[in-house]
Chain A
Amino acid sequence: MDLINLNLTGPDWSLVVPQLIVFGLALVLLFLDAFLPNERHYTWLTAISLLGYAAAMVALYWQHGEDRATFNGAFRADGLTVFLSVIILSAAILSVMVSASYVERLEGRMPIGEFYVLLAFSILGALLTAAAGDLVMLFVGIELSSLATYVLTAFAKRRVTSVEGALKYFLLGIFASAILIYAMAWTYGLTGSTNLDEIRSAIQDTVAGQDRQEASLLLALLLLTVGLGFKIAAVPFHMWTPDAYDGAPTPVTGFMSVVPKAAGFAAIVRIMVQGLGPMRNDWTDLLAVLALITMAFGNIVAISQRNIKRMLAYSSIAHTGYMLVGLAAYQAREGTGFGSGNGAGSADLGVSSVLYYILAYTFMNIGAFAVVAWIQHRGRGMTLDDFAGLASSNPAAAVAMTIFMVSLMGVPPLLGFYAKYYVIVAAIDADLLWLALAVVILSAVSAYYYLRVVAVMYFNPPERQLGASSTWLLNAGIAVMVIANLALGLFSSRLVDLADRWTGALT
């Protein structure tokens, strides 16, 4: 009996260099944390983290253009891996810039070395999820990313809200993981493999033959959607989001609103598009409904929030909805996508619009949380009133916040507009006119709560003076994100083209 069908070729290590660099970074940080004198921790570990992520970004350059799998198909180096890794590593660099001084001065925190180590492991998990070609790899990646984020949420361990937010995040997170494993078990049982490509070909036969397996596959699909829906905070699986975002230290909130969400979307694209692509008629309908209720709920509840962090939490739920619209528009059509394309592979507007959206969302959302952190540095809280009169006391910060708010709202020519534009185009192209209309209408609703922040900054008198604080790294990070929001929109067609060409390899 041939129980093991092993293909005993060694793995191709050259394909995993960026991921290995981040892994190495995590280990180096662990060692330095133990052996470096305490007073040097802050400077050294910050610098080494930034260098490590930058090095991983450079190493990605050699992954560009590859389309190969190694480790028995468990690790894929393809366009999707590169695009998502660029997003995740940018988020990592920006998170370090935003959080360094904030975490250093946080009261009742854990040692700062642990912050950077956990951050590195979370990034590594997200990178592995993006590169997964196998359900096992995908699951381990997404768990590594989540587990580190649970601890980061509780980083201010002497503050009740921080730990309470972490506990809620943790309980719902592991509940979702359990559902996810069960769904993966059924997917494996019904298709006979954990490898995504083999799952795809097995399902192709099932769909073509209309076997009776269809019903249980649908159940597995439903459970997968529930499990991953928790990770990306889609309604009705969003209950943890406002509390976890509110409780976590502000820069961590910015981080966890982007990286675990990017990992979750990476997992959805890998499983749904790459693995379950032949069943797309089933899951696009499911995601379309999920997208509608997520957008509607997030935008409407955000209106009533006075706490900026809770408001941004509901706004991030709404943005999950916009991204789901792009996935619901997936149709694996033949031909070229936006712009020229290469004509050879089948391109799809849905997936590339989601990828571009995640990129835009990274710069908008971390930016908004960075300004909140900047305000908190100067002795203010995080309610709407704390932003009163910011324009007169510090015009630069007010302009930055305005740009992030308006970009999140989706006003041209900022980055957020292009992101929404491509999602809407993809939805119309897939005959989801009602969904495209919903995006437009709900964006108009979102103007109310985004512009309220701007109005408070410019028209309300300041309550008290800002304290003085030197945060050059944070300021530099905000400046980078402002420039990205202003300028990246201009290159949008080229970026979407790249995403397009790279996702073409998937289908």
Chain B
Amino acid sequence: MGEIGVNHFLFLSAALFIIGMMGVLIRRNILIIFMCVELMVTAANMSLIAFGWELNSLQGQSFALFTIAVAAAEAAVGLAIIIALSRRVRTPVDVDEMRTLRD
């Protein structure tokens, strides 16, 4: 077993990213889709920090901080939309119920 290097982090981040993406594509529950997107964002943050560590620059880490702030804003907006919907629809957490609008 060698030393833990940047590649290990990149592989972990890629794995998390793919798990998150699969979750978005497969799951039907809105909240779980939302959590999977957050997982993808976290994976991207991990890549940013790993690259920053490898490149010896702080740009990656500061980018990650901005990303976290944006993700928080996304969560606020998203949960607000879900709450607004839950007042109108009986089972708002299932995306298959979202079919008022269609061709």
Contacts and interface: CB of A to CB of B under 8 A. Distances in A.
Given A135-B63, A136-B62, A164 B44 contact: no
Interface in A292-310: 301, 304-305, 310
A267 B60 CA distance: 20
Nearest to A307: B103
A81 B73 CA distance: 26
A185 B44 contact: yes
Contacts of B81: 150-151, 154, 163, 166-167, 170
Contacts of A305: 103
B58 A3 contact: yes
Interface string B64-103: 0011001001100110111011001100000100101111
Contacts of A468: none
Nearest to A193: B59
A337 interface: no
Interface in A157-212: 157-158, 160-161, 163-168, 170-171, 174-175, 177-179, 181-182, 184-186, 188-189, 192-194
Contact of A243 (B47, B48, B50, B102): B102
Interface centre among A161, A181, A247, A304 (most CB of B within 10 A): A181
A189 B30 contact: no
B77 A147 contact: yes
Interface in B33-68: 33-34, 37, 40-41, 43-45, 47-48, 50-52, 54-60, 62-63, 66-67
Contacts of B101: 161, 164-165, 168, 242-243, 246-247
Interface string A35-47: 0000000000000
A375 to B, nearest CB: 20
A243 B70 CA distance: 25
A184 B84 CA distance: 33
Contacts of A304: 103
A121 to B, nearest CB: 11
Contacts of A3: 56-58
Given A161-B101, A181-B44, A182-B43, A194 B63 contact: yes
Nearest to A182: B44
Given A4-B58, A160-B89, A179-B40, A136 B66 contact: yes
B89 A140 contact: no
Q: Which secondary structure dominates where chain B touches chain A? A: helix
A140 B70 contact: yes
B38 to A, nearest CB: 8
Contacts of B40: 175, 178-179, 182
B30, B62, B73, B80 interface centre (most CB from chain A within 10 Å): B80
Interface of A: 1, 3-5, 135-136, 139-140, 143, 147, 150-151, 154, 157-158, 160-161, 163-168, 170-171, 174-175, 177-179, 181-182, 184-186, 188-189, 192-194, 242-243, 246-247, 301, 304-305, 310
Given A182-B40, A189-B50, 16 more contacts: A139-B66, A143-B70, A143-B74, A150-B77, A151-B80, A154-B81, A154-B84, A166-B81, A167-B82, A168-B98, A177-B74, A184-B44, A185-B63, A188-B48, A189-B48, A247-B101
* Closest 4 pairs (CB-CB, A-B): A189-B51, A178-B40, A185-B47, A181-B44
13 contacts: A5-B57, A135-B63, A147-B77, A160-B100, A163-B85, A167-B81, A167-B98, A177-B74, A179-B21, A182-B43, A184-B44, A188-B60, A301-B103
